Structure 1
Amino acid sequence: MAYRYLGNSGLKISEITYGNWLTHGSQVENDMAEKCVRAALDAGITTFDTADVYANGAAETVLGQALAGERREGLEIFTKVYFPVGERGPNDTGLSRKHISEGIDASLRRLGTDYVDLYQAHRYDHETPLEETIQAFADVVRSGKALYIGVSEWTAEQLREGQRLAREAGFSIISNQPQYSALWRVIEEKVVPTSEELGISQIVWSPIAQGVLTGKYKPGQAPPAGSRATDDKGGDQMIKRYLDDSVLTDVAKLEPIAADLGITMAQLAVAWVLANDNVAAALVGASRPEQISENVKASEVTLDADVLTKIDEALSGSIIRDASLTKSPEKRLV
């Protein structure tokens, strides 16, 4: 396992990071979730990412239980705040001082830890003054409840203003967590250049495009039984944008590229996002331990310029680049 610095900070994280969105507390039973976490630890993963909204808090609880007994100093635990949680009252959402203050305490209880290494704004809150949000995060850092602050799916403009206010408040935003894959490249035009300027790294989610880049979905065929495309708890909605026959036909063109390299399609997809110097880590989830064991091998893969060009050519008709697709809800959900 290789490790990278997160943003302009001294924090190193495993470049393959374990994420438990759509798995712990929902798709995967607790005992299997713990086996997946154990497989991640055995593979050298030290960084674990979750959020309070995942399974309405259950994902944090399961992760905390799975990591119990591990040396805390040897782990980097990340969580997030923004989306509605708990009883879903009028203040159980957003990035207000109240919700951030209560949210970090609730997350720490569920995770069973005194602090998180990274506390992230899960989206941008258009209904709370950014100054209030940044000051609340500054208080969380000063209290020792979080060591660093990050964000998720913020636009270039939001990152710039947020970083300005953060530095005035005595800390820095060191990370952004956007969707990014060989198919979904909306951060490349604006977010990545701005982040490089501001000392912010990307921790990217869905590097395998919800599983589509594994090649298991075939044009003209029904999705495999038990796959994310058949999950009615949310997975099917997230993946449906990619289940177009033209996209799946382009993805199939990656098979000989992966075969020539002696790696799987999933490893190719993860190695592709890690080829971007602004990416500190690729988030991978798992419903089975062997998925982790296979995906971490991407940490050993370096893709040369010729291979990157072949990937671009194979997917040219299906790549999404529209920078305007980086956005947060205009209004809170409750």
Structure 2
Amino acid sequence: MPLSCQLSVLSWVDKASCVSQVAEQLMTIAYENGVNLFDTAEVYDRNEIVRAMTHVINQGMSMYWGTSRWSAMEIMEAYSVARQFNLIPPVCEQAEYNFFQRDKVETQLPELYHKIGNQYSMPQKVNSCGIITGKYENGIPECSRASMKPYAWLKEKIVSEDGRKQQAKLKELTTISEKLGCTLPQLAIAWCLRNEGVSSVLLGTSSPIQLAENLRAMEVIPKMTAGIVTEIDHVLGNRPHSKKDFHQAH
């Protein structure tokens, strides 16, 4: 199943017992629906070196390792070190990928993977920190993530000119999702999974209801025809062009 689960319990849930109960519910629902990869880490240390990760794998403590939000150059450096010293390279990259962030997963990483061999993209932030859910269509709701002080940067992003343009595009995309009989978040997830270079999608979730809704995105994937994808591209107007496209055009 090309979905993995990134568990996130919102900060205003302050009782440990409540956190534990919610986490258990989320993991149970995900597991019963076929999810077999759980990402519960809050912070990723980019300073882990290839030699250290090779040791961890050789000791049987892990089967493989991957990177999170590394640039194509950093991944290439890690691969080069692994090849030079007969070590184990990373096999996947967790990169932000959604309607509004496309270039890295659709052009940079495929071009890199073509050079170094089979690697996989495991997108995160497929709903762009909640922006793509439609919750900010009419401003910043109370108790939403963007209303919290630590997320002032998210609020600024939403109310900016680019943010308002994104909301307008989301309204158009909602028309497409309604035509397919799904929600906007489900469309966003299915759109990510339709990419052949994507092996799995990390779902950030904070409630059983939200998780169950996200998992139904699997039902939308067969509906992602070439015509629908073209329709979405037309609305977004941000389809990146790879070197392959450039050469074909010339």
In which range does the TM-score fall when normalised by the shorter chain?
0.7 to 0.9
Structure 1 unpaired stretches of 5+: 3-14, 54-79, 83-93, 96-132, 324-334
More helix by share: 2
The reply on whether 1:81 has 2:71 as its aligned counterpart is no
**Residue 315 of structure 1 aligns to which amino acid in structure 2?**
L
Look up the match of 1:18: 5
Given the alignment of the two structures, is residue 149 of structure 1 paired with residue 60 of structure 2, yes or no? Answer: no
1:138, 1:169 within 8 Å by CA — same for their partners in 2? no
Matched with 2:246 is: none
The answer as to whether partners of 2:4 and 2:36 remain within 8 angstroms in 1 is yes
How much has 1:250 moved relative to structure 2? 1.1
Cα distance change, pair 229–148 in 1 and its aligned pair in 2 (3 A): same
Instruction: Map 1:87-102; keep pairs closer than 5 Å.
Output: 94-95=47-48
Q: Distance in 1 between matches of 2:59 and 2:3?
A: 29
CA contact (8 A) 2:65 2:92 kept: yes
Q: 2:110 aligns with which of 164, 168, 192?
A: 192
Does the CA-based 8 Å contact 1:258-1:264 persist in structure 2?
yes
What TM-score do you get using the length of structure 1 for normalisation? 0.63
Distance 1:184 1:209 in 2: 8
State how far apart, in whole Å, the 1-side matches of 2:51 and 2:37 are.
26
2: CA distance between counterparts of 1:27 and 1:268?
A: 29
Q: Which residue of 2 aligns with 1:115?
A: none
C-alpha offsets along residues 198-231 of structure 1, whole Å, 9 cap, x if unaligned? 211011111111122122221xx32223322223
Gaps of at least 5 residues in structure 2 are: 243-250
Count residues with an aligned counterpart.
229
Q: Equivalent residue of 2:143, what SS?
A: coil
Contact 1:36 1:289 in 2 (8 A): yes
Residue 100 of structure 2: aligned partner: 183
Find 2:134's aligned residue among 195, 215, 234.
215
Larger % of strand: which?
1
Residue 142 of structure 1 and its aligned partner are, at CA, apart by: 1.2
1:270 and 2:189 equivalent? Answer: yes
Question: How far off its partner does 1:16 sit?
Answer: 1.4
Partner of 2:219: 300
What's the CA shift for 1:240? 4.2
TM-score (norm 2): 0.82
With CA pairs under 8 Å and 6+ residues apart, which has the higher RCO, 1 or 2? 2
Alpha carbons of 1:158 and 1:322: their partners in 2 closer, same or farther (altered >3 Å)? farther
The alpha carbon displacement at 1:196 in A equals 4.4
Instruction: Single out whichever of 197-206 and 174-183 deviates more from structure 2.
Output: 197-206
Cα deviation digits, residues 110-131 of structure 1 (max 9, x gap): xxxxxxxxxxxxxxxxxxxxxx
Q: How does 1:130-169 map to 2 (within 5 A)?
A: 133-167=49-83, 168-169=85-86
Q: Give the equivalent residue in structure 2 for 1:250.
A: 169
Alpha-carbon distance change, 281 to 137 in structure 1, aligned in 2, over 3 angstroms: same
Amino acid paired to 1:46: N
- After TM superposition, the structure 1 = structure 2 runs for residues 55-134 of structure 1, keeping only pairs within 5 Å, are 80-82=44-46, 94-95=47-48, 133-134=49-50
Residue in structure 2 matched with residue 67 of structure 1 by the alignment? none
Q: Percent identity?
A: 28
CA shift digits 1:75-95 (9 cap, x unpaired): xxxxx434xxxxxxxxxxx33
Shift of 1:299: 1.7
